[in-house]
Each structure stands twice: as structure tokens, then as C-alpha cells.
Amino acid sequence: MWKNKFHISPPFGLLNDPNGLIFWNNEYHIFYQWNPNACEHGSKHWAHLKSRDLINWEFLPIALSPNDWFDKNGCYSGSAIEKDNKLYFHQQ
């Protein structure tokens, strides 16, 4: 199977808009809209990856899941910020 060498890609499912790009705790973090259930729009979560060099990426647990009534169509665009050495998300 062909796989990107320098670009992130999901293990399966749909990758959509990147969100919340941030350098935090000496690592780069990227979040993107991800449907882990299918290769189609719907039920979007926020996948989370981190890297020290922007080449080698480590997948982390899902950052946001559509669990509340206001997320019924998925977790869409937003941002990440650091305050008092904690990482916060703002979903729009």
C-alpha cells in the first residue's frame, strides 16, 4: 500500500480541514476533522497528532468527539490555545 512519507494521513476514514495548529510543550500539535467511521462527511471528530520535527508524527487519542447535542453534525472548525501551560480548544 502506498503511504505519504512527509504528510499526515489518517489510518482510515475521512481527513478534512486541519484545525488548532499549535506549538506546545516543545512539540507541534495538529488537529484535523476526521470521520473514523467512513470515508464520507458526517460524524466529524478531531484527530490529534504531535511531532518534534514536523516529519515524524505520533497519533494521539481523539481530541474532540461529537458527544453533545450541539455537536450532532460533528465537531467542525476551531482553534487551540495555551494558557497557564494547559491546552484549550475552541470550536466554532
Q: How many residues does the chain have?
A: 92
Give the other-Cβ count within 10 Å of 10's Cβ.
Answer: 16
> Most distant CA pair in the chain: distance in Å?
43
d(Cα 36, Cα 13) in Å, to the nearest integer? 5
Q: Residues 39-68: pLDDT tens digits?
A: 888 788 999 999 999 989 999 999 988 888
d(Cα 55, Cα 70) in Å, to the nearest integer? 35
Enumerate the active-site residues.
17
> Would you call 73 exposed, middle or buried from its count of C-beta atoms within 10 A (0-12, 13-18, 19+)?
exposed
pTM: 0.85
